[in-house]
Structure 1
Amino acid sequence: DLFTIFLNIHYVYNLHQKNGFTCMLLGEIFELVQLLFVVGFTVFLANCVDYDILFANKFVNHTDSSKVTLPDAFLPVDVCSARIRENAFVIFVLIISGVFWLHRLVKFIYNVCCYWEIRSFYINALKMTMSELPYATWQEVQARIVEIQKEHQICIHKKELTELDIYHRILRFKNYMVAMVNKSLLPVRFRLPGLGESVFYTRGLKYNFELIFFWGPGSLFENEWSLKSEYKRGGNRLELADKLASRILWIGIANLLLCPVILVWQILYAFFSYTEVIKREPGSLGARCWSLYGRCYLRHFNELDHELMSRLSKGYKPASKYMNCFLSPLLTVVAKNVAFFAGSLLAVLIALTIYDEDVLSVEHVLSSITLLGVCITVCRSFIPDKHMVFCPEQLLRVILAHIHYMPDHWQGNAHRYETRDQFSQLFQYKAVFILEELISPVVTPIILIFCLRRKSLEIIDFFRNFTVEVIGVGDTCSFAQMDIRQHGHPAWMSAGKTEASIYQQAEDGKTELSLMHFAITNPQWQPPQETTHFISQLKERVHREATSDTHPLSLSESEVHSNLNSYFTCCHLVIPITSPSCPQFLLIFAFSLHRTDARTVSSGSSVWEGQLTSLVLSEYASTEMSIHALYMHEVIVGEQVWEQSRGPL
């Protein structure tokens, strides 16, 4: 049933991202086995091992050999089972784990059945084999889906299917989450005594939000594509808010009761997942990653997972370099000296083991070598590169070219620790990420009961006011329509085009930037007339001001050469000059060379122009989006500075 396939088109996308049916099947099976292993192995270690024998605190009598083997430390089966039966907490954990595993098993069987149908859809309808799928882009798959709509009418409610319809079905709930973060509706930002403003948004908290709003029992949606009718009416909003608050309370209490089990699971999972990595690469805890909140804050409306991760991955290196600009000089001095003393001790121990390997059998020598190596690696993470140049403003602009969003007050203040601390909420230490996930079982019920419950009326109003029904798609978030007139912000080049109130406006230029990103990513998409006018007007304005002799952003070719050299000296990035990592002046210059159409390549008047044009075409979409993101931020900041300089009349 092709219509059923269209209703579950997110499975089509997931199967593509999981590289085919076989990879998906193996991944699901290993997840089930992994759960059994973690629980079973932990229970075995806690109840079935005699650690006195393992640590040589108790001797074992052997008739044939005096050598102690590993099985000698294992308790007999009857003793092991008796210890398990006597431990009430272990029994409770096993029961909860068993119920959860059975739930996962049922879900696994259901997913296998669904993905088998999707596999047939790929082979029979899209004419793509599973061996071809890992090497096909999603745009190719999407283009075939749009084409077969014309022949087989997989969506019975409309004649032709657009790229936006497909994105809406895949990202229905994620668009709601992006909108709620954008409007600061979710309680994820807190002001803590002594710590200032902090962000707490973990996978456990995100799971509970989705459980409450979208798919759990009693959620706001009656199925995957339709909001319950009572939430679309405003007459009983207070009653619905009380009902939602009560549901949040009970889910919070359930989280509180399950807190010990979830906490134990989080600790065990983190131990089994990260211990080997930390031993092999101790500095990995000092590495950074994009936080879960950062991914939601930086995500465009209608941006698929792989598009978001590709964009953030390109911004990882400049973001790391920017954060490394703020290493404490005092901490650097301490780290250098600690590394020196630890390295001296390690060198002596290594020399002794080379001279006589029996040194390793001395108690704590091997562990000392390991700990000293970890100490040296950690210290080195606090020692900056001696060739690094302090240029936070340039680095922040490079970051903006990729992530597209940041508060305007950061520009000009990139050297301040306040800006660095705010950016660290988006780009956090891996160790902080792990710590937040570990304490999430304790903090999540507190946030649900005392913070989210208070916002129940605002949540009800949000879903009523910002839900629209789209033919062939169902109920979607109105922000995901990327309608400038309905949700545009006057400060983001939408003045005179938007009729939205402050409540209806998307913050941080989310509507405008999302629209540009979607139009550039899907060049075959035909937007509405007003939207087309906004896009073409913006492109013309960027091109006109980039080629203007009087505009401060326009540069001559010699100036580009000069600025490019200083840029590489500052950032130490070996990248193509047309990469989205390049600063704004170079991107606008590149944009002016290839005009506004990537499909029209004119022969350059010089070797420089010809090579630059050919390189621009290879990364046209991401480069063009970087141009517009940088330009829109620059125009807004420039206009604000100009308005402030005018002062009162």
Structure 2
Amino acid sequence: MEAQGEYQRLEDFEEDSPPGEEELLVHVTEGLQDSWHHIKNLDNFFTKIYHFHQKNGFTCMMLSDIFELVQFLFVVTFTTFLLCCVDYDVLFANRPLNHSHPGGVAPDRSKVTLPDAVLPAPQCAQRIQASGWIIFLLVMAAVFWLYRLVKVLCSLLSYWEIRTFYIKALNIPSEGLCNYSWQEVQERLILLQRQQQMCVHKKELTELDIYHRILRFKNYTVAMINKSLLPVHFRLPLLGSVVFLTQGLKYNLELLLFWGPGSLFQNKWSLRPQCKRAGARRELARRLARAMVLLGLANLLLCPCVLVWQLLYAFFSYAEVIKREPGSLGARRWSLYGRHYLRHFNELNHELQARLSRGYKPATKYMNSFTSPLLTVLAKNIGFFAGSILAVLIVLTVYDEDVLTVQHILTAITLLGLVVTLARSFIPDEHTVWCPEQLLQRVLAHVHYMPDHWQGNASRSETRSEMAQLFQYKAVFILEELLSPILTPLILIFALPTRALDIVDFFRNFTVEVVGVGDICSFAQLDVRNHGNPQWLSAGQTEASVYQQAENGKTELSLMHFAITNPRWQPPPQSELFLSQLKEKVQQDAATAPPAQCILAEGPLGASLLSDDSAAAPEGLLASVLARPILSASGLVARDRHFAQPCSTASAAASVLASLASPLPGRARGPPADSPGCHSDRLLPEERSCRW
């Protein structure tokens, strides 16, 4: 793909010098100058402040890191013990020999105890030494554990420094950290900058500056997913279209592009100079493709070690849960690809998690609305046969507990119970009636994004299959992570190098240098003129070509989300114009329409938007707009005309859009006192008396 744009440098009126120096000075109160006068990396500094808040302070972070080390040590030692220090012939009563007694003579008893099956220490050590493969894995595990130990010790020192900063600079005590929201912490950071000139390279600190530094690399990844640049979509025989993005593949992509040796970034805040020159694009693409292949080969060499660890960790993590709750594998979770596809630009982890958590139940109901008649028939009959045998075994056990001593009887009961539970999960509730269109609208109210071809096709199996790529079974997630050590090297070697030139062009064309902040993804500027979608904007508001515009209105939705989440933030002029015109348009259309609460209460999204866990959330604005988009002049295209309400759809968004001009907390949840009543299950009895 030929270059369609050039690297840009943006001058910020608030900033007077670039952050390219190796050391950034931070000034705090006089008593802290010895500890906080010198910050080398503001990205790490703000990221640590954010993680310290989200992970609930020093004690929780310290214990998490320590237990992570202990957990790794336990998995390695316990697995080695099971492989080399247990005599399974004795454990399974095939050979009555007791290794734990002198002379190897077992005491005179009929039952075998656990100590009887444990090999003596010398024999255990001999079996370990006799296996070169086990010794190799133990050495690799020891090296990795020591590396993690050093990293944890350094992290603990960093945690303590951040704790000191919270207490002395932000005046937030450790025991009261949970009482402060991130917005309150952020306000104190901004205030500290104004009072103490905390960063000498910037006079004013804005909310967007903090988000840019915390999410610098994340915004690039979200943009590449939005532009379908990364090779995560594959078409396989029998399976059709699949999406594959795992933690291992994501880690390797970040290593290649952001922070690894030879990556496109020369430090945390600046691209390499050659990445900014169009003439060097092909040479840089060749080097990047070569690095991808080499990294893929390295992953291939480490595949056995990583695969063994993945298998062991999955077994110890999920075996007990599967035995206790077999249906847990049938539960769903937002896939890693889904979390990137649905993420706004400049959206922090806790904001994304809160939004997806609100959409979890509607998404589950939508996916459960699809049933397979064939699977239902098979499940009923399999459940009948397995349940019948299980019932007989249980009755025999109740009649005489000696039945439990029969070989493999407990195994049979456990497996039959698992089969019955799984079979029941495929049998739908006969008394439940679903409306896929309305359920998908409820999902959209919280996740904010869906492909255009889903409109009016919510009941089609193709739509469900694509939704399953975003909202996958936990069993699929586990399987993907287990296959990741095998498939990730293949993707790095064969699929990713073909995108090297496109990736190089992307970083040059969609990177801007903001003085005082560094190189950031231009989409993160929330600039509707350069990256807006014409379907979402009035004529003349955007100059973006198809290549430059974000897909699915992500720029506009991200702008709305950020403006609501940070009401004190001053958007760029063009973005502010977009928000002002949006508010003006819906307020004009709402003048002759019923209150927004009535529309939402009667609509398919009423329960979702007016429930206690979502009515007061900032996403109520986006949910309202997406539930009933306003006219095309404002840029919001109707998603579901079949279920349109019999009144002006703009009024649904009018009252919540007003929150752009006023703080969200303290907002009334119900309709105004002088508004007509609305029929809703969530209204008080006296409010149900009238229906419009």
TM superposition score normalised by structure 2: 0.83
Is this contact kept in 2: 1:335–1:382, CA < 8 A? yes
1:12 aligns with 2:49: yes
Q: Which of 113, 120, 125 is matched with 1:76 structurally? A: 120
Is this contact kept in 2: 1:590–1:613, CA < 8 A? no
Query: Counterpart of 2:318?
Result: 274
Whole-Å Cα distance in 2 between the matches of residues 14 and 333 of structure 1? 49
Query: Counterpart of 1:23?
Result: 60
Distance 1:556 1:135, change over 3 A: closer
Whole-Å Cα distance in 1 between the matches of residues 371 and 149 of structure 2? 48
**Which amino acid counterpart does residue 354 of structure 1 have in structure 2?**
V
1:423 aligns with 2:423: no
Q: Which of 39, 46, 68 is matched with 2:83 structurally? A: 46
1:596 aligns with 2:658: yes
Whole-Å Cα distance in 1 between the matches of residues 657 and 225 of structure 2? 36
Is this contact kept in 2: 1:604–1:610, CA < 8 A? no
| More divergent stretch after superposition (245-254 vs 584-593) | 584-593
1:115 aligns with 2:159: yes
1:93-112 C-alpha deviation (Å, 9 max, x unpaired) = 11221222122122212211
CA drift of 1:613 comes to: 12
Query: Counterpart of 1:440?
Result: 484
- Count of residue pairs the alignment pairs up: 608
1:596-638 C-alpha deviation (Å, 9 max, x unpaired) = 24568795225747999999xxxxxxxxxxxxxxxxxxxxxxx
CA drift of 1:588 comes to: 6.0
Query: Counterpart of 1:194?
Result: 238
Query: Counterpart of 1:231?
Result: 275
Task: Look up the SS of the partner of 1:428 in the other structure.
Answer: strand
Q: Which of 307, 311, 314 is matched with 2:358 structurally? A: 314
Query: Counterpart of 2:390?
Result: 346
1:430-485 C-alpha deviation (Å, 9 max, x unpaired) = 10110000000000000001011121111111111211112222111111001111
Whole-Å Cα distance in 2 between the matches of residues 3 and 507 of structure 1? 41
Distance 1:370 1:2, change over 3 A: farther
Whole-Å Cα distance in 2 between the matches of residues 442 and 78 of structure 1? 37
CA drift of 1:356 comes to: 2.1
Whole-Å Cα distance in 2 between the matches of residues 577 and 203 of structure 1? 30
Whole-Å Cα distance in 2 between the matches of residues 575 and 387 of structure 1? 27
Whole-Å Cα distance in 2 between the matches of residues 367 and 443 of structure 1? 34
Distance 1:497 1:159, change over 3 A: same
What's the RMSD between the two structures over aligned residues? 2.8
Query: Counterpart of 1:93?
Result: 137
CA drift of 1:278 comes to: 0.4
Whole-Å Cα distance in 1 between the matches of residues 441 and 208 of structure 2? 30
Superposition pairs for residues 239-388 of structure 1, below 5 Å? 239-388=283-432
Superposition pairs for residues 383-398 of structure 1, below 5 Å? 383-398=427-442
Query: Counterpart of 1:629?
Result: none
1:452 aligns with 2:512: no
CA drift of 1:329 comes to: 1.4
Query: Counterpart of 1:461?
Result: 505
1:605 aligns with 2:642: no
1:26-70 C-alpha deviation (Å, 9 max, x unpaired) = 000111111111111111111111110011010124246454221
Query: Counterpart of 1:519?
Result: 563
Whole-Å Cα distance in 2 between the matches of residues 76 and 556 of structure 1? 75
Whole-Å Cα distance in 2 between the matches of residues 350 and 372 of structure 1? 11
Distance 1:233 1:574, change over 3 A: closer
Q: Which runs of no fewer than 5 residues in structure 1 stay unpaired?
A: 616-649
TM superposition score normalised by structure 1: 0.88
| More divergent stretch after superposition (438-447 vs 59-68) | 59-68
Is this contact kept in 2: 1:547–1:592, CA < 8 A? no
1:279-329 C-alpha deviation (Å, 9 max, x unpaired) = 111001111110000000000000000000110011111111111111101
Query: Counterpart of 1:155?
Result: 199
| More divergent stretch after superposition (310-319 vs 63-72) | 63-72
Percent of counterpart pairs with the same letter?
Answer: 61
Q: Which runs of no fewer than 5 residues in structure 2 stay unpaired?
A: 1-35, 98-104, 629-644, 685-692
CA drift of 1:220 comes to: 1.6
CA drift of 1:235 comes to: 2.1
CA drift of 1:390 comes to: 2.7
1:406 aligns with 2:450: yes
1:33 aligns with 2:70: yes
1:211 aligns with 2:255: yes
**Which amino acid counterpart does residue 476 of structure 2 have in structure 1?**
V
CA drift of 1:134 comes to: 2.2
Larger fraction in helix: 1
| More divergent stretch after superposition (574-583 vs 222-231) | 574-583
Is this contact kept in 1: 2:338–2:471, CA < 8 A? yes
CA drift of 1:494 comes to: 5.1
Whole-Å Cα distance in 2 between the matches of residues 120 and 373 of structure 1? 54
Distance 1:281 1:574, change over 3 A: farther
Whole-Å Cα distance in 2 between the matches of residues 614 and 123 of structure 1? 44
CA drift of 1:557 comes to: 8.8
Whole-Å Cα distance in 2 between the matches of residues 525 and 194 of structure 1? 50
Distance 1:128 1:612, change over 3 A: farther
Task: Look up the SS of the partner of 1:289 in the other structure.
Answer: strand
Whole-Å Cα distance in 1 between the matches of residues 238 and 367 of structure 2? 22
Task: Look up the SS of the partner of 2:489 in the other structure.
Answer: helix
Is this contact kept in 1: 2:326–2:421, CA < 8 A? yes
